[in-house]
Amino acid sequence: MLWEVPENTIEPIRCGDCSLQVLPCASRMKVQDMYASETPSVTAASVKPSDLFPKVLSPPRHTLGQWPTPLEAYEHSQFGKFLVKRDDLAGFGGDARSGVKARKLEALLDHMDQHQLGSMYMPLGNITNLGPELLRLAEELEISVQLRIVDNPRLPQHVREQIYTKYANNVTLRGSSYTAAALALASQVIKNRLFGRKALVVAPSPAHPKAIMGTARGYLEAMSQCLEQFGRLPSRLYVASAAGCTVSGFGIAEAMMREAGYPPVEIVAAQVVSDPLSVVIPILTVWTLRSHKLKLKHRPRIIVRAPKRNRTYGGFDQDHIALCERVETDYGLTIDPIYGGKSFTVMEADENDQPTDGLALFWHCGYTPTWKLFETT
């Protein structure tokens, strides 16, 4: 099965055999263009995961993180051993704890170099470890970056101004509408073309095929560590998802590994927004595969988990906070209730209610040091 959203979540959409039925008419594409026969070409793994790196991306010119980040094992009191991929130790972003963003930006900056793009325009929400770090990095690399900060989740104006006071020349604080921000960016695209400017306009996350493949490299890195340290792959991988880009990259890399003869790994996306990721992720996947001229023999194994209490972007309850405190006490892992607290909640629920014989892997994407600003969201 390609995409599955359990019935107790929003958007119970299933898409399996031939076409992405969930796509709107304007974007409908044939999945069989992307996937060949489901029959594996080999019955046992013929290559190491790291051997697949060249199919994904060339080595990054701009190394932003400390790779590989550690893979650690912990013992849960209810479902036993689980693994944690410590991208929070990558040394990038807010409090140097934003590894997934570093993976995306490495690939995106390489793309900008290759196409001689000297400017970038991107909308972001108020919750971002990416914004200030991207602006600092752009200054070092002499790239012009303009951010459009949407008031979502809402914050008092003086707090927003305080966060970005050092970057006033590169930041425009907008209202709460992403639609208005998108229209402003579309206008910018038209202006760039009219005046012959070479610039990159990119959606939040950043949502771009190169950035998505940057996360695919991270997945292959983690699976290499699983084989080297534990002699096996996890049965499920849990990761928080807001835009769907990381999940899309993981799904592509997982399908590539199955093509090489490895057993399947279920990618569980813990949705932290109200947007229908069950629609967004297939679109991102097809876009990325077409952009890189890739065809896969297997469909990505992605499941979206979207409990109602997790679907307010930036919103969380006292139980989320209590879980984060418990995780720090029990395992020494610092997670926030906006992202990691929600994906850890989904992992505990799944592993207790639907146990498997395999290992669970929790992907620690990073940490949002300003999460307390959003306690009233």
Give the model's pLDDT for residue 354. 85
Q: Which CATH class is domain 118-197?
A: alpha beta
The whole-number mean pLDDT for each consecutive block of 10 residues of the chain, a chain of 377 residues, reads: 40 31 30 38 62 78 90 95 96 78 92 89 81 82 87 85 82 83 80 82 90 95 96 97 96 94 96 93 96 91 95 93 97 96 97 88 93 77
Cα torsion for 87, 291, 63, 272, to the nearest 10°? -30
Instruction: Delimit the domains of the chain by residue range.
Output: 3-97+208-374, 118-197
Give the model's pLDDT for residue 44. 54
Give the model's pLDDT for residue 16. 33
Give the model's pLDDT for residue 222. 97
8-state DSSP, 8: T
What is the Cα gyration radius of the chain?
20
pTM of the model: 0.85
Q: Would the CATH topology of 3-97+208-374 be identical to that of 118-197?
A: yes
Other Cβ atoms within 10 Å of 94 Cβ, number: 18
Distance, in Å, from the CA atom of 227 to the CA atom of 230, rounded to the nearest integer, reads 6
Helices (H) and strands (E) in the chain, counts: 10, 12
Domain 3-97+208-374 falls under CATH 3.40.50.1100: yes
200: helix, strand or coil: strand
Give the model's pLDDT for residue 41. 35
Give every CB contact of residue 117 below 8 A, 6+ residues apart in sequence: 111, 198, 199, 200
